[in-house]
Structure 1
Amino acid sequence: MYQYTAFDRQLVKNRAAQFRDQLERNLAGTLGDAEFRPLRLQNGWYIQRYAPMLRVSVPYGELSSRQLHVLAKIAREYDQPAAELFEQAQHTQDQLSNTPAPRLKHGYGHFTTRVNVQYNWIPLTKAADVMDLLASVDLHGIQTSGNCIRNVASDALAGIATDEVADPRPFCEIIRQWGTLHPEFSFLPRKFKISVTGGAEDRAALPWYDVGLQLVKNAEGELGFVVRVGGGMGRTPVISPVVREFLPWNQILNYLEAVIRVYNGYGRRDNVWKARIKILVKAEGQRYVDQVEAEYRAIVEQDGAPHTITQAELDRVSACFVPPVLPTVSSTSQPITAAEESEYQRWLARNVSAHRNPALRAVTLSFKRLGYAPGDATEDQLDAAADLAQQYSAGEARVTHDQNLLLPWVHENQLPDLWRAARALGLAKPNIGLLTDMISCPGGDFCSLANARSIPIAAAITERYQDLDELFDLGDIDLHISGCINSCGHHHSGHIGILGVDKDGREWYQVSLGGSDGTRLSGPATPGKVVGPSFGALEVPGVIEAVLTTYKNLRQGREHFIDTLRRVGHEPFKLAANAARIPDLPEGEDVLHNKPGYARDTQEA
C-alpha cells in the first residue's frame, strides 16, 4: 500500500481543520447554506433523503486493517441518528407501500461500485469530528463529490494479477496526487472519473469511464497506455472510443491535462444532463481528438517538463507498493473434514483467485447475504474484516468494484483457517460472480435523487435464490440494480439490469438484458437492451425468474447466461419477461417524496 508522506498527512489534516471552520460558521449562521454547499460536497458530504451522507475516498480501493478499524469506529459511534429522526424515517418508509421491505438500519458502512465507503446517518453537527478521525489514518472525503476529478479506480487484483503487464497502482497514486485540489480542474462542467488497469483482461470497466487507461507494451517492449476517453452510464450510456493506441507512460499527466483542459473549455455547462465529457466526445468526434492532440503537443513543447513523470518519481512511488514481507507459514491449517469438503470446494471455486505468487491467493469476502443490502458492512463486520486482513493478508484489504472486500496476500496453506473464520462471520458465502453477488445502489431508501428503491428489489431476489445448488447451476450472471438514471448501480452493464423509474409519480422498474462491463467472460463492453414497459415492484422477482428459466431451457451444456442470450437473441427472453406480468396488478408503489427542506444534491450521485 502507498505510505503517506508528511506532506500528504499535513494536507489531509489541514483540509479537515478547514472543513471544521467552514462547518462551524455554517452552523452559526455566518456562512450561508448556498455558500457552504460546494464546500461540503467537495469534502464528501451530501444531504440525502433523511440525513447527511458521507462518502469516504478509498484510493483505488486499498485499505489497511488500521483504517478498517477506524471505519468501524465511525459506524459504531457516529453513524447513529437521533432516535426521533430515525423513527420518523422508518414511519415514512412504512407508508410508501405495502411491499415488504427491509427495515432501515444504521451503524454500518457501505462499499460502493467506485470502491469508496459511504455512511448514511452521521449528523452534520458531528461531521468535523469524523473528518479528524479519518485524517488520523490517512483517509478523507476530498473530491468524492462535486464537478472535479474523483477518486481514481483500478482492478481489485492490481499488483497481484497473473496477467499484468505492470502494476497500475503507482500510476493511480501519481494521478491521484496530481488531481487532488488541482486549481484548474476543481470546477469542471461535470464530475470526472478515471480508471486504470495493468491486466490483459479489463477488470476495471475502462470503457465506462470518462478516461480509461490500460497499461500495455508496444512492439519495442516499451511501457505505455492505451487511452480511452468519453465513456459513461447515466441517462446516455456511451462506450468510450480509443483516442490513443499507445502513449508513453511518462507522458500520462501531460495527456490527461490536455484531455481535461479541452473538456473544461468546451464541455456544456447549460444542461447538467449533457455536461459529461462523453457528450462532448460523441458530438465532436475526431475534432475533439484533434484538439486534445494539439493541446498535448503544446503542453509538451512549452511547459510539460513539470508533469512529465521521471523514472526517479515512478521508482519513489513504486517503492510503496513492494509486496509485503509475509511471515513464514510453518504448518498448514487444520485439514478440511469430509463434512466440510463440499462447501469448502465451492468457496475455493468462487471466492479464491490466482495470484502472481504461486504460494499466495486473493480471497474475496462476500458482503452479499440475506438480510443485508449489497455492500453493507456493520460496525462489527468492519472490525472483523480488519482482523482477518491483519491475520491472513499482511494487514491489507481492498474494496472491489462489485461491493465486496478482497484480501490480497493470503498464503494458500492458511485458506482452510481463513474460510472457517470468515464462515463464522457470515462472510464466506460462495456466491462471487453468481446471481446473488449483485450490485445495487442504496436507492430511494436513502438517496434523494432516486426514483425508486433498490434495496427491497435486491432483497426479494436474494431471498428467492438462496439455494446454492440452483445458483451454481445458473452460473455466472451479473445483476445490477440502480434506483435512478444516474446509474450508481451500473444497471447498463449488467447481464441483467434493473432501473428504478418514476412513472406517473410512482415506483416502477425497467429491466434490460445483455449488458457487459468488458470482462473476458462478459465480452466487449455494451449497454443492455430494455425488454419492454416497466414492471411493478411485485412483478420483478417473477420477471427475473422467467428470464432465468428461459436461459436454462435454451442453453447448450454449461453455456453462460450472457453467451446464450447473444446466441439466440433477446426475443425469447423478452417474451418470457413480459409474460410474467401480474394481471390486474395494483397501482404502482407510492412516490418517493423528498424530506421537506432538504436540497437535492444533483452534483451527484
Structure 2
Amino acid sequence: MYKYDHIDQTLVAQRVSQFRDQVTRRLNGSLAEEEFRPLRLQNGLYHQRHAYMLRVAIPYGLFNSKQLRTMAMVAEKYDRGYGHFTTRQNIQYNWVTLEDAPDILAELAKVEMHAIQTSGNCIRNITSDAFAGVAGDEYVDPRPVCELLRQWSTLHPEFAYLPRKFKFAINGAKEDRTILLCHDVGIELKKNTNGELISDIYAGGGMGRTPVLGSLIKTGLPWQLLPSYLTAILRVYNRFGRRDNLYKARIKILVKALSPEEFARQVEGEWLHIKNGDDNFTQVEWDRVAKHFLKPTYKSLPKLSDEQILNTINDEEKVIFGRWLARNVKSHQIPGYASVILSLKPHGSVAPGDATTAQMLAIANLADQYSFGELRATHEQNLVLADVEQSKLYELWQEAKKQKVALPNIGLLTDIIACPGGDFCSLANAKSLLIAKAIQERFDDLDYLFDLGDISLNISGCINSCGHHHVGNIGVLGVDKDGEEWYQITLGGEQGNEATIGKVIGPSFYADEIPDVMTNIIETYVEQRNDSESFIETYHRLGVAPFKEAAYKNVKKKEKVEALGGAL
C-alpha cells in the first residue's frame, strides 16, 4: 500500500500542529465557535449530541495492521473502547473531547493517517472498491489513480470552500462495488482497444433529500487528464452551485437544473482553457505512486474448489463452515488465494460497523498472519482480508469466530447498513441502531436467512442518507413528526451496475412496528417468489403493490399512522 514520503508526512504533521493551535485558542476563548467550526470540520471534528465525533479517513478503504492497532489504541485511550466503520471507508469515534482531538491526530499521523477533509464543504475522502487489486472481474487496479487524486485534492486551495461537500468514487471492475452513480462524481476506469487507461465520468449523483443517479458526461478521458477535467467540473460547480440554500447546494441540483447535456457543455468550455496545463498527471507521477501497489509475494498454489476445502473439515462443522465459504469468501485473481469478509454485524449485540478495541487488535493479528498485514474497509461496513491462502480458510474461520466476526451473513437481510442515527448524531431525526438491533433479533435464524438469499437492508436516521437507505432493496428512513420518531419504508433500491433509487411505499411507522412490517414484507416475498428468485427480482416482477399491502397488514396503530397523512 502507499507509503508516505517526506512531503506527505510534513503536510500531515503541520496540519496537526495548526489544528492544535486552533483548539488551544478555542479553549481559551480567543477563537469564537463560529470561526472555529469550519476549521474543526475540515479536520473531521463534529459536535454531536453528547460529545465530539472524530471522523478519520481510510483513503479508498485500504489500511494495514499497524494502523488498525493505532485505531484500537485511540478507541481505548480516547473513546469508549470501540470505533465505527462507516459507509464511506472512514472510521468514527463518537466520544472524543475537544482537548484530546489534537493528540489523537498526532497519534494517527505517526502511522500515516489523518482526518483532513473528512468533513466540510470540500472534496471528501476518495472511495473505491474494497477488492481493488484482487477482484477477478477487475479491468484495472484503481488504487494508483485513487492515490494520485487523493494527493491532488488534499488541501487544494481552489476547492476548500465549495457550495457543499463533494464526494468521488472510483471503480475499475466489471461489477460496481462503489455505488458509483450515487456520488457527486463517479469515475469508471477501463482500457481502450490500444490498452491505454481511460475513464468515463459521471456527474450529479447523490442521495440525501433529493436522490439522483449520476449522468454520463464524458467518455474515454485519458487518465493523465483527470486533474484538469475534474477541475473544470469543480469550477463550474463553484461558479453556479447554489450557496443561498443549503438543501439545493449539491452538484446534483445544478446538473438537474442545467440538464446533464448543458452541464457537460459548460465543463467542456471551462476545460478547453486548462486541459493542456501543468496540473495533469505524468507517467513519472504514476510510476512514483504505482510502485506501492505491486502484487505481494504470492506462493504458487493450486486453486481449490469449495468441495475440496470442505472435504478437509469434520462433518460436524461442514454446514456452518460451508455457509461461511459461500457468503464471506470471494474469488481471487491468484490461484490458491481468496478474499475474506469479516462481518461487523453480529446479530443484535452491537451497532452495524462497530468494532471493539479487542476485536481491532485481534483482526490486526489476523491480517499479519493471513493477509500480508493489509486490510480493506467496505461500503457495507465490514472488513476484508484480501489475500488469504485457501488452505488456511478453515484455520482463519476458527480464529475469526473467537472475535465474533465470522457470522456468515454477508449480503443477507441482517448484514444491515446503518448510520449512528439519533443515538449520536445531532442531525438525525430518529434512532437507527435501535431499529437495526430489533430487526437482527427478529431474523436471527441463519437457516431462514440463507433460504431468503440476497437482500440489502439500509437504515438512515435522517434525510442525509448516511445509511444509504435509498439504494437498499429495503430502506428505512427516520423522520420527525411533531417531535416523535417515525420510520419511512422504501422498496426496490439497488446498488451496483443496476443502481436504482427505492420508492417510498406510504405513511411512516412507529419504531416498535418496524419488526412486524419487515416480517410482513419478507413473508410476502417468500409466498410470491419463484424458485430461484431473489427479493429484488420478485419485487421487479410483482411491483410494489403486494409488498405495500402486506406492510400495513395487521400492524398495530395503523389507523393513527394513516390519520397523520402520507410520508414526509
Q: 2:273 maps to which residue? A: 298
- SS of residue matched to 2:274: helix
Rounded to whole Å, the distance in 2 between the matches of 1:334 and 1:40 is 55
1:486 alignment partner in structure 2? 464
1:327 is displaced (CA, Å) by 7.0
- The alignment status of 1:61 with 2:61, answered yes or no, reads yes
Q: 1:334 to 1:118 in 2, by over 3 A?
A: farther
Give the Å deviation of 1:219. Answer: 3.7
Give 1:312's aligned residue.
284
Q: 1:321: which partner in 2?
A: 293
Q: Per the alignment, in what secondary structure is the counterpart of residue 19 of structure 1?
A: helix
Asked if the contact 2:341–2:383 (Cα under 8 Å) also holds between the matched residues in 1, the reply is: yes
Residues 583, 198 of structure 1: CA spacing in aligned structure 2 closer, same or farther, 3 A cutoff?
same
Query: Residue 509 of structure 2 contacts residue 561 of structure 2 at CA under 8 Å; is this kept in 1?
Result: no
Give the residue type in structure 2 aligned to 1:323.
Answer: K
Measured at CA, do residues 9 and 465 of structure 1 come closer, stay the same or move farther in structure 2, by a change above 3 Å? same
User: Alignment partner of 2:480: what SS?
Assistant: strand
Give distance in 2, aligned partners of 1:128 and 1:24. 10
Q: What is residue 469 of structure 1 aligned with on the other side? A: 447
C-alpha separation between the residues in 1 aligned to 2:560 and 2:235? 52
Deviation per CA, 1:389-432: give whole Å up to 9, x if none.
11111000011000000011111111111011001111100000
Alignment-mate amino acid for residue 462 of structure 1: Q
Equivalent residues, number: 554
1:202 maps to 2:176: yes
Q: State the distance in 2 between where 1:28 and 1:582 align.
A: 54
Per the alignment, residue 252 of structure 1 pairs with 226
Deviation at 1:35, TM superposition (A): 1.1
Q: Name the structure 2 match of 1:216.
A: 190
User: Distance in 2 between the 1:206 and 1:587 partners?
Assistant: 36
Query: For the structure 1 residues 324 and 534, does the alpha-carbon distance in structure 2 shift closer, same or farther, using more than 3 Å as the test?
Result: same
SS, match of residue 135 in structure 1? helix
Query: What is the CA deviation profile of residues 553-600 of structure 1, one whole-angstrom value per residue up to 9, with x for unaligned ones?
Result: 111102000000001111000100011421478999xxxxxxxxxxxx
> Which of 305, 316, 331 is matched with 1:354 structurally?
331
Shift of 1:335: 4.1
Tell me which of 362, 366, 384 is aligned to 1:388.
Answer: 366
TM-score (norm: length of structure 2)? 0.95
Distance 2:339 2:40 in 1: 36
Aligned counterpart, 2:343: 366
Give the counterpart of 1:506 among 481, 484, 503: 484
Contact 2:552 2:558 in 1 (8 A): no
Matched with 1:71 is 71
Please point out which of 382, 397, 404 is paired with 1:404: 382
Superimposed CA distance per residue, residues 187-218 of structure 1 (whole angstroms, 9 cap, x where no aligned partner): 00000000001001111110000000111223
Give, in whole Å, the separation in 2 of the partners of 1:72 and 1:334. Answer: 37
Match of 1:86 in 2: none
Matched to 1:383, the amino acid is L
Kindly indicate whether the alpha-carbon contact (under 8 Å) linking 2:198 and 2:223 is maintained by their aligned counterparts in 1. Answer: yes
1:24 pairs with 2:24: yes
Report how far residue 443 of structure 1 moved.
0.2
Structure possessing the higher relative contact order (Cα contacts under 8 Å, 6 or more residues apart): 1
Say whether residues 1:439 and 2:417 are aligned partners. Answer: yes
Match of 1:562 in 2: 536
CA distance in 1, matches of 2:40, 2:113: 16
String of CA shifts for 1:172-196, please: whole Å, max 9, x gaps: 0000000000000000000000000
Q: How far has the Cα of 1:525 moved from its partner?
A: 1.2
Helix, strand or coil for the counterpart of 2:53?
strand
Matched letter for residue 395 of structure 1: G
Distance 1:375 1:271 in 2: 33
Q: Note the C-alpha offset of 1:14.
A: 0.9
Contact 1:333 1:417 in 2 (8 A): no
- Say whether 1:379 aligns with 2:379: no
Map 1:534-549 → 2, pairs under 5 A: 534-549=508-523
d(CA) in 1 for partners of 2:527, 2:99: 56
Q: Assess if the C-alpha contact under 8 Å between 1:253 and 1:307 holds in 2.
A: yes
Percent sequence identity over aligned pairs: 55
User: Distance in 1 between the 2:245 and 2:236 partners?
Assistant: 18
Deviation of the 1:337 alpha carbon? 1.5
Per-residue CA distance 1:274-310 (angstroms, 9 max, x = gap)? 0000000000012211110111121124xx2x22211
- Unaligned 5+ segments in structure 1 are 80-105, 589-605
Query: 2:507–2:561: 8 Å Cα contact kept in structure 1?
Result: no
